Amino acid sequence: MTKKGLLAIANNGIEFLIGSLLLVLVTLVYSVEEAGAWIVFLTLLFVGTKFREGITQTSLMKYSVGVSEDQKFSVYWISIGLTVFIEILLGITAFVIAELFINEPLHVLLKNYIWLALPQSLFRLFQFISQSRLDVKSMINSNVVLLNIICLVMMFVYSNGLEFGSLPKAISIAYWVGLAWQLLMHNAFSWKLELRNIQVPDGYIDFAKNGLLRELFGTISSRAYILFTAGLIGYAESALVGIASRYANLIYLPNSAYQGLLYPKACEMVNRGSVRTMFHYYRRAISWMQAGFIPYVSLLISVGSIGIVLLHGQEYVAAIPFYMVLVLSGAFISPYGHAFGSVSQAAGRPDLVTKLVLLNSALNLVLSYILIVLFGVWGAILSPIITDVIGLFMIQYILRKVFQSRIFESYPKLLNRLLILTKLLTKGIGTKIRGLAS
């Protein structure tokens, strides 16, 4: 794995740490029901985030790399304007929805949605700008600044027992500071802003439309089990599911970080006319990454199960079995889904991803409701797994039919690559030990 790949994983690790620290804070300061309401709030915030990023993120990546400086800055300003506009609309929508939950803890959180969503969305947008430039160091610097301010905010909340509904406002301070740091680091105030030069690139609207449908329905579907659990069973149960899901996301950190770096390179290959090379590039990269997942999964299951109890207390011990199942499924399913989305978009066929996501979303929503009614919380855990397995067969069929290619490699090859990685690691550790002994 390249140095940038390792830095990207470290960056995602910082992002995960930020979210996990906030979750620990909520479980320590507030009740289990309030923790469940916070997880539902974060789920809705995540849906809003993906709604916005479906329009801006993939289009920004696609149309700001390998282009002229004027087009690059034009895409940046279009993305910033859309981000602000969309967050204002979502903030108003959240305020209206809050009136439906007047007697519930979710009410006060939704009323303050815009306070957190706006600075967070702009902060994330500038992270994507850095990613499009493969400037991982800037991403890490920004997240380190954010982490430090978040820790200060957490100390204030913990020591003063801040009112539950004011939590989004308190956390927003950290994102505003992080955003100010990004603006200075990117020297954004010097970016060209000439209205006559701001033009929507050909294909941008199509990418934005498909991205919107894909991210909105895909995110609602992927988080449906948390929302259904809260609605059909209760906030306390949604807290268990949410914590299990949160720590199971550790399995996605290497995947999202590594593939986040692969996507700009894939777009560059396609823009140069090397579609077949791009598929080979992805297939080989994902194969190596999955080989490394095998020991990583073992570590997560052993350490993560203990960590849930240590960080959150005995009240959340029931989340451990859910966590284990989600880690195992995520390790062997998610890389292919992410890769399919990237290669299809890079190849100029975002519609394929949209159609698959819409189909999978409808299936998952139906399964989530039925299985939760029949099996309770376990139904919430199993429904997305069943949907993802079905999705894998669909991905294989689409790739063969449309691109006459594949991104799957045989498991014997994965095991062979695991053996190579093990030998390299053993050799590296042996060299270090001999160096220390001498």
> What is the tens place of the pLDDT at every residue in 309-329?
888 888 888 888 888 888 888
Question: Residue 151: which residues within 8 A CB-CB, separation 6 or more?
Answer: 21
| pLDDT given at position 430 | 46
Which candidate, 207, 183, 172, places its Cα nearest to that of 87? 172
If 0-12 CB within 10 Å is exposed, 13-18 middle and 19+ buried, where does residue 385 land?
middle
pLDDT greater than 90 at residue 272: no
Stated pTM of the model: 0.68
- With b for 16 or more beta-carbon neighbours within 10 A and e for fewer, the 394-417 pattern comes to ebeebbeeebebebebeeeebeeb
Give 207's pLDDT tier (boundaries 50, 70, 90): low
Q: What pLDDT is attached to residue 434?
A: 43
83 φ/ψ angles, rounded to the nearest 5 degrees: -60, -50
pLDDT at 149 over 90: yes
Q: Give the model confidence (pLDDT) of 159-199 as tens digits.
A: 888 888 889 999 999 999 999 998 888 777 766 666 555 66
pLDDT tens digits for range 14-64: 888 888 888 889 888 888 888 888 988 888 888 888 777 777 666 666 666
Question: Can you say whether the dihedral through the CA atoms of 384, 98, 180, 122 is positive or negative?
Answer: positive
pLDDT of residue 196: 58
pLDDT at 326: 86
Exposure string over 94-129, b if 16+ CB within 10 A, otherwise e = beeebeebeebbbbbbbbbbbbbbbbbbbbbbbbbb
Cα angle 59, 399, 386 (rounded to 5 degrees) comes to 90
Q: How far is it, in rounded angstroms, from Cα 354 to Cα 217?
A: 9
Q: Encode pLDDT of 375-400 as tens digits.
A: 888 888 888 888 888 888 888 888 78
Give the three-state DSSP class for 409: coil
- Higher confidence at residue 291 or residue 430? 291
Q: Give the mean pLDDT of 415-426.
A: 59
Provide the pLDDT confidence category of residue 69 given band limits of 50, 70 and 90: low
